[in-house]
Structure 1
Amino acid sequence: MNQTEIVNIFTKKTLALTFVLSAAAMAFAQEKAGVTGMIVNKNNQPVPYASVTFSNKVNKTLSDAVLTDEKGQYSLELAPGNYDITVEAIDYKNSTITKNIAGAGNIGALSIEPEATSTVGAKTQEIQGVVITAAATKAYKVELDKKTYDPSQDIVSKGGNLQDVLTNVPSVSVDTDGTVSMRGNTNVRFLINGKPSSLLGVDDGANALQSIPADQIERIEVITNPSSKFEASGTAGILNIILKKDKKLGFNGSVTGSIGYLPRTNLNANLNWRKGNWTWFVNGGGGYQRNESTSRNLTIRKDDISALDPTKAFPFTQYSNQDGKTKREGDNYNLNAGFTHDFSDKTSINFSGMIRSFDNDSKTLNTYNEIVYANPTTYNNILRERNSFGNSKNFATQFDLGLDQKIGDNGQLLAASASYQTNKTDGVNQIVQTSFKDGVLQSTGNSINNVTTNSQTDTFIGKLDYELPIGEQSKFEAGARYDYNKNTYDYFVDQSNNGGTAFTRYDFTSNTVYSENILGIYAQFKSKIGEKFAYQVGLRSETSKIDINFQNYDENGNPKYTPEVNKNYTKLFPSVFLSYDLAKNNQLLLNYSRRINRPRAFSLIPFMSFDDDRNYFRGNPDLNPTYEDSFEFGYNLSKKKFTFNPTIYLKRSEDEQNRYQYVDEAGAVNTIPFNVGTETNYGLDLNGTYDPFSWWKMMLSADLYGYKNTGSYNLFPDNPKTLNDFSGTGFSYRLRFNNTFKPTKNLSVQLQSFYRAGEKTAMNNRKAMYGFDLGASQTIWKGNATIGFNIRDIFNTRKMRNYTNNAQFTREMEMQWQPRQFALSFTYRFKQGEKVDTKPKVKKDINSNTNGDDDQQGPM
């Protein structure tokens, strides 16, 4: 791939979108001038962190606001005109003057008077009327019930996607194939703006993560132990992706374009407009990406096949070596738009719509070299080549409507919302296979299979939340939520041998309809005892009704009788959160919650994919949910130069779901999920930041964890010989270390590194893996634009390696999802200024989750 080809790809895929978004930006742009100034007190001393609001007397859309820095200074861009300048600061009187801004320059120092009742050491008063939010000084923040990560300071992910951002979030790990885990557990529940979203489809995997640009993410909330207010699904916890919805006055936004290798091009825009009681936003973009992955498998069988069937001792596969290489390329587009309208101070409505699509092509070449024994002394050498040519198209939509109604004047709030989502995927894959036996083409040596898949998910979510403040420090919350999901999967395979007539492979063709109805209700109460101790207790009830209709066929195409799977159960999920303030920004946290992991549709139906005839996964209709009790004890210390947040956790699961493997007569490895006994997980999750100098910031994340699993399982209930008692233990750790350097005011350099130690799981012994990433960004054009460059996996070491050794076979596997990549990005920002919220600021207690709930419309 030469430079000309990369440029041509970028031009063809994104040039049209560039013109459209740039035209939109220029249409709203205003000629502005750089204005600076300073806020001082009557002793001419600087006043840090004061809010300065510039209200244009003719055109309110030209108004803006800013926050002073530690030296009481500020700067912003303003259009020329007459302005009312209002200054607000803690322990000072509000001050307003009128001034004409004729052009760029320093407007001098503005003096403000202290409150008459203010004395040194007096209790700080809340600012009423205007809330100014400054840029976060640290990328990672700890709150009572969650931790938040700000990707705006993640230079390495500039121009990337959600998968790139998640690789740097503390307590979160992303495997090379896009699998996301928290503290070693892959049962992660994804939310977007507080709701399950069709943008992250159930079965889209890495494609879905790569379709959400990093530039559209406001923050990521890591909720390792969710309260009863959240849905009970996800034993690992919840990752809540908050997309950008700016609240700045007037028109503002940014446009980001990037280009990289292996070819990756992206163009995304975040546009916002606020006027009067209306706030509009639109985030959208698209991109093109190529990817290459490699895999290697070596399977050696050790046992006699009579362990599965006493009548058969031979033939069986003794040795199988597989090498694979896959090339993928595809386009992805997304659009997220909506508005908020305030009918009054007490009533507001919001509406948003999201659309995502991707179109991927793939080409895979697998080479198999196998030795098959006909008897103990005679064997055949079989060589097979299996080429796959696939295409997958996905289209997902989501529409959300919400109503917020304040009741009375004591802070009561009633919030209602509804969401309708669809996710449709169509795939076609042609598999061409050639087989040689001892160098001679076999009678069915040339075969062609056509695999067609169609799946669709329809989702409806309706919920109602109520908040009742009680006094100054207490709050009662209650609500209900109804989820309906219907998933349909159609899978069809045909085959032709040596150019003959195609016939249907009924052993793989199937149709599945999966539906679930979940009704959840909750109530929780939060309060404080004294000034230091806070608590929150809650209880959630969820009633689940799951129905699965699976239809497959016999060798003649006649429908088989497959009993419908029906599961109905009601369970309670309590939660308790406690906190104690040792001192200012020095806190102890203790919490407990009960969670559930419901089996996914593919884990329940006896369906097998034809994509790889040496590795099969088959569902288990008898699979039950896993229930987990989770305990956490944490400490949070936050100082100006460093933060320290260690958390000890313990989780105990009932009916743990594990995947177990065996080799069949043809030598293929089969994987089936089972509920196996109990599992106990424990560990230390340690996160911290340290700023040794103003130009150097460090962030360290470490997770040391272990597990113990006990139980028994039977791969074949009719054969008592296959009953196995199981007992497993393991311990591992993960480290992530990020350094950000700022050698000049406008230049930032970031070096990220991680190490994942080896881990022994129920069936696999995973080898260690490490990697390094590098990023740099340069701000230009008086802060209105940024040029970024990054390299991911500098030493090309992100390779997943597993080793399996059991009584039946040994297996070595190595897989690399994508090789080293680099990207160059350019971001342009217009109408910059601090966020302004003209609504009265709500007094926040230690238990509040106001920031998250405002953007999420409640996490039910």
Structure 2
Amino acid sequence: MRLKFALLAAAAVILPPAVGLAQTPAPAAKPAAKEAATAVEGVVITSDSTAMRSSIDSRSYSVANDLSARTGSVADALRNVPSVSVDVQGNVSLRGDANVTILIDGKPSSQFTGEGKGDALSSMPADQIDRVEVMTNPSAAYRPDGSAGIINLITKKTQKPGVNGTVRFNVDTLGRHNGGISATRRAGKLTLTGDASYRRDTQDAAQVIDRATLDRASGGYLTSKQDAVVDNSGGMTSLRGAFDYDVDKNNRLSGELRLRRIAFDTDVDETYSALTAAGAPSRAYLRTTSGEMTRDNGAISADWRRQFKGGSDHVLTTHLEHEITDFTRDSQAFTRNTPGLDLYERIGMEVEQTRTNLKADYTRPMPDSVKLKTGFDFEVASNDYVNRGAEGPSASGLIPVPSRNNRYVFDQDVYAAYVTYERPFGDFSVQGGLRAEQVQIKVDDVTNRVTGDNQYFKVYPTLHMGYTLSQSQTLSANFSRRVQRPGAQDLHPYRVYIDPYNYRQGNPDLKPQITDSFELGWQMRKGQTYYLATAYFRDTKDSVTDVVSDLGGGAFLTSRANLGKSRSGGLELVANGRLTPKLTYNLSGNLFWNEIDAANLGFTGTRSGTAVAGRANLNWQATSKDFVQLNVFSSGKRLTPQGHREPFKMLNLGYRRKVNDKLSFVVTAQDALDWFQDVSVTDTPALRDRTRRSANVRSVFFGFSYAFGGGKPKAEQFDFNAGGPG
């Protein structure tokens, strides 16, 4: 399928120079103090470049000094952010919950949903990101999607007039390389920005599945082992162009066009063997697979921003965007069975996703420092899935298999409106919000001529409170209701063929997962030293989870189901400070507990467990030109209805040499001790499964960056709403 676009006639949000949707424009130009105070949602911060900044509903972490972000992917950068974990496959979780919504400058993107979302994060260059904003309890101004919360990737912006840019290139010891160029031209009322990058990646991965299923006839267990070695190679190309035009001092028009392509080739060598309950060989195969995957994503957007009289906070922003994603995957396999005949297969999948979003946000300051914010957010999305499958005794004699050929169309439209009201009462501030959403879903199994539709209306309240104990200490309390809607494939009952003994299937009866999230927080900050403590609790009903069942004959089915309910809670601690004039640290830890009630899935009683996760960063400014960094992290054990996922960990090292203000060199060692792997365990009376996945993310990168252009940088104007409500 070819990537196609429909040009949209739309006005564009008025943005400050190269700053995202709904950011408050800077006042009329005047000299700024070196660390001018900036008001953000009722909290006063200083506009320096410290590692963490907080607002009433979010925390933002700088990745400017994260050396792995200079040479790695966004997934690598996220591994060093408190509260965030990223597994071997690029899947992100917040405090152990994988239901996370990822935004870019406050805007959603189809590339971070569905098939290949992990590939997108693992392929997107991290040097395009300036800060990572974490919102575990976002206000009603943001979409409630993602029970864990929102991760907002805030891209780098220039603050210099004239023509400026950066050239960068990195290469590792295994043949990987990445590089790109970013440039900005600012003259008069017009600002043009653009960037282009390419990332080449090769990765050897392995998967080992050890299974034992209960043989009810003998009372013993039937064991099997599936061992696969995977060789991936490919690249990602990213192009973006944008403009900002100041019509007058109160109006700005903006537009953006972005294109991204991921293309990978994959070769898999796989062995499978199974034994009877008595330990005798029963069946085995050798299987080789070669395939290719491409994912094209493109979007065009237009924005308009209007600033009214009465202050820079009195603003109307509008945004219109159209996005198309094309995903294709084709593979050929040859299987030598013992006993049985040799078998040739061809498996394919195509997905076309379209998404159109129209939204507007209006912020109005009122007397007594009251702030009112309201808006609407309309999105229509369509997903068209095509599965293909054929097999035969020879590569030229393939015959389509009816059960492996299917077309499925899924449409979901969401119409939302919200309002938030924020008011201070001396040292105490409160922000209440309410978001109302009407959802319409239509499904069409074209192959089997089965259609269905569903629609529902829900409201999502939020409440955020803050209290200033002193100039350096604050308290906070907040609540939000979140939703995790089943995805298109989650609702499709079609049984997807993975390999001869593994299938995956959706469930049309799935309900949306609803989570009530509560948090209490304390923060102490003085200069670049800060300490955070957050106690949190989440009560969830109808959690969507994977369930593995035995189909017989050694085959297994992974399906989706709603849990009865689940609860989780914990205490998260973060500390950042300076040990010596040249040595700084950042530590974070999360002690958490979760409980699962899966009685409606046939399990008896509840299951619960506790775990600890954490990370540590050390930064040493050895000289004015030499910077050394060490970071290490470990995720916690995660409970599942049928078992658990074991912790994973990694150690990264880095060194940067600054030659001058324009040129610097970087060396990074990723996964220096080769620790990184992912293990999931199923342990039930009828099924015991241990799946281990690993990948050679271990590497040493050598790189440089060179800045060109001139001009005096403008004072930083930081706003946690960069990108605007999602």
Q: CA deviation at 1:134?
A: 9.7
Q: CA deviation at 1:473?
A: 1.2
- Aligned 8 A contact 2:89 2:119 in 1: no
Equivalent pairs, count: 692
Give 1:458-857 correspondences, 5 Å limit.
Answer: 458-471=354-367, 473-497=369-393, 501-530=397-426, 532-552=427-447, 560=448, 562=450, 564-640=451-527, 642-714=529-601, 723-780=602-659, 782-831=660-709, 835-836=713-714, 851-853=719-721, 855-856=722-723
**Partner of residue 61, structure 2:** 149
Question: Distance in 1 between the 2:656 and 2:572 partners?
Answer: 30
> What is the letter of the counterpart of residue 202 of structure 2?
R
SS in 2 for 1:232: coil
Question: Distance in 2 between the 1:434 and 1:274 partners?
Answer: 63
Q: Indicate the larger mover: 331-340 or 492-501.
A: 492-501
Q: CA deviation at 1:409?
A: 3.3
**Cα distance change of structure 1 residues 745 and 677 upon mapping to structure 2, 3 Å threshold:** same
Q: Could you tell me the TM-score, scaled by structure 1's length?
A: 0.77
Q: CA deviation at 1:136?
A: 4.5
- Aligned 8 A contact 2:60 2:720 in 1: no
1:214 counterpart (107, 126, 129): 126
**Partner of residue 320, structure 1:** 224
**Cα distance change of structure 1 residues 126 and 385 upon mapping to structure 2, 3 Å threshold:** closer
**Partner of residue 316, structure 2:** 414
Question: Distance in 2 between the 1:832 and 1:726 partners?
Answer: 67
**Partner of residue 261, structure 1:** 173
Q: CA deviation at 1:641?
A: 5.0
**Partner of residue 101, structure 1:** none
Question: Distance in 2 between the 1:315 and 1:806 partners?
Answer: 14
Question: Distance in 2 between the 1:802 and 1:728 partners?
Answer: 16
Question: Distance in 2 between the 1:610 and 1:321 partners?
Answer: 19
Question: Distance in 2 between the 1:644 and 1:751 partners?
Answer: 20
SS in 2 for 1:156: helix
SS in 1 for 2:594: strand
**Cα distance change of structure 1 residues 378 and 248 upon mapping to structure 2, 3 Å threshold:** closer
Question: Distance in 2 between the 1:460 and 1:325 partners?
Answer: 40
1:436 counterpart (338, 341, 344): 338
Residues 36-83 of structure 1, C-alpha deviations (whole Å, 9 max, x = no match): xxxxxxxxxxxxxxxxxxxxxxxxxxxxxxxxxxxxxxxxxxxxxxxx
Question: Distance in 1 between the 2:259 and 2:483 partners?
Answer: 30
> What is the letter of the counterpart of residue 671 of structure 1?
T
Question: Distance in 1 between the 2:182 and 2:368 partners?
Answer: 38
- Aligned 8 A contact 2:348 2:387 in 1: yes
Q: CA deviation at 1:582?
A: 0.5
**Partner of residue 22, structure 2:** none
SS in 1 for 2:496: coil
Question: Distance in 2 between the 1:148 and 1:282 partners?
Answer: 25
**Partner of residue 330, structure 1:** 234
SS in 1 for 2:89: coil
SS in 2 for 1:611: strand
Question: Distance in 2 between the 1:645 and 1:235 partners?
Answer: 22
Q: CA deviation at 1:345?
A: 1.0
Structure 2 residue 262 is matched with structure 1 residue 358: yes
SS in 1 for 2:719: helix
Q: CA deviation at 1:834?
A: 5.6
Q: CA deviation at 1:431?
A: 1.2
Q: CA deviation at 1:683?
A: 0.7
- Aligned 8 A contact 1:565 1:621 in 2: no
Q: Which runs of 5+ in 2 are unaligned?
A: 1-28, 40-44
**Cα distance change of structure 1 residues 275 and 225 upon mapping to structure 2, 3 Å threshold:** same
**Partner of residue 291, structure 2:** 390
Question: Distance in 2 between the 1:477 and 1:331 partners?
Answer: 42
> What is the letter of the counterpart of residue 100 of structure 2?
V
Question: Distance in 1 between the 2:556 and 2:674 partners?
Answer: 29
**Cα distance change of structure 1 residues 385 and 535 upon mapping to structure 2, 3 Å threshold:** same
SS in 1 for 2:119: helix
Question: Distance in 2 between the 1:472 and 1:347 partners?
Answer: 27
**Cα distance change of structure 1 residues 692 and 427 upon mapping to structure 2, 3 Å threshold:** same
Q: CA deviation at 1:467?
A: 1.2
**Partner of residue 306, structure 2:** 405
Q: CA deviation at 1:412?
A: 2.6
- Aligned 8 A contact 1:299 1:319 in 2: yes
Give 1:34-113 correspondences, 5 Å limit.
Answer: 89=33
- Aligned 8 A contact 1:365 1:388 in 2: yes
Q: CA deviation at 1:125?
A: 9.3
Q: CA deviation at 1:135?
A: 8.3
- Aligned 8 A contact 1:486 1:515 in 2: yes
Q: Percent of pairs identical after alignment?
A: 24
Question: Distance in 1 between the 2:194 and 2:526 partners?
Answer: 37
- Aligned 8 A contact 1:328 1:360 in 2: yes
User: Which structure exhibits the higher relative contact order, with contacts defined as CA atoms closer than 8 Å and separated by 6 or more residues?
Assistant: 2
**Partner of residue 236, structure 1:** 148
Q: Indicate the larger mover: 419-428 or 155-164.
A: 155-164
Q: Indicate the larger mover: 577-586 or 150-159.
A: 150-159
**Cα distance change of structure 1 residues 612 and 231 upon mapping to structure 2, 3 Å threshold:** same
Question: Distance in 2 between the 1:224 and 1:363 partners?
Answer: 39
Q: CA deviation at 1:567?
A: 1.8
> What is the letter of the counterpart of residue 395 of structure 1?
D
Question: Distance in 1 between the 2:387 and 2:531 partners?
Answer: 51
Residues 285-307 of structure 1, C-alpha deviations (whole Å, 9 max, x = no match): 11211011011111111242xxx
SS in 2 for 1:158: helix
- Aligned 8 A contact 2:343 2:391 in 1: yes
**Cα distance change of structure 1 residues 302 and 738 upon mapping to structure 2, 3 Å threshold:** same
Q: CA deviation at 1:610?
A: 2.4
Q: CA deviation at 1:86?
A: 8.5
Q: CA deviation at 1:392?
A: 0.9
- Aligned 8 A contact 2:124 2:236 in 1: no
- Aligned 8 A contact 2:375 2:419 in 1: yes
- Aligned 8 A contact 1:335 1:356 in 2: yes
> What is the letter of the counterpart of residue 398 of structure 2?
A
Q: CA deviation at 1:830?
A: 2.1
**Cα distance change of structure 1 residues 330 and 648 upon mapping to structure 2, 3 Å threshold:** same
Q: Which runs of 5+ in 1 are unaligned?
A: 1-84, 92-123, 128-132, 305-312, 553-559, 715-722, 842-849
SS in 2 for 1:836: coil
**Cα distance change of structure 1 residues 834 and 809 upon mapping to structure 2, 3 Å threshold:** farther
1:165 counterpart (77, 86, 111): 77
Q: CA deviation at 1:416?
A: 1.1
**Partner of residue 19, structure 2:** none
- Aligned 8 A contact 1:525 1:536 in 2: yes
Q: CA deviation at 1:764?
A: 2.2
Q: Could you tell me the TM-score, scaled by structure 2's length?
A: 0.91
Question: Distance in 2 between the 1:217 and 1:125 partners?
Answer: 24
Question: Distance in 2 between the 1:86 and 1:166 partners?
Answer: 36
Q: CA deviation at 1:137?
A: 4.2
SS in 1 for 2:532: strand
**Cα distance change of structure 1 residues 347 and 394 upon mapping to structure 2, 3 Å threshold:** same
- Aligned 8 A contact 1:245 1:272 in 2: no
Q: CA deviation at 1:760?
A: 3.5
Residues 232-257 of structure 1, C-alpha deviations (whole Å, 9 max, x = no match): 11100001111223232111121110
> What is the letter of the counterpart of residue 344 of structure 2?
I
Q: CA deviation at 1:607?
A: 2.7
Q: CA deviation at 1:368?
A: 0.4
Q: CA deviation at 1:436?
A: 1.4
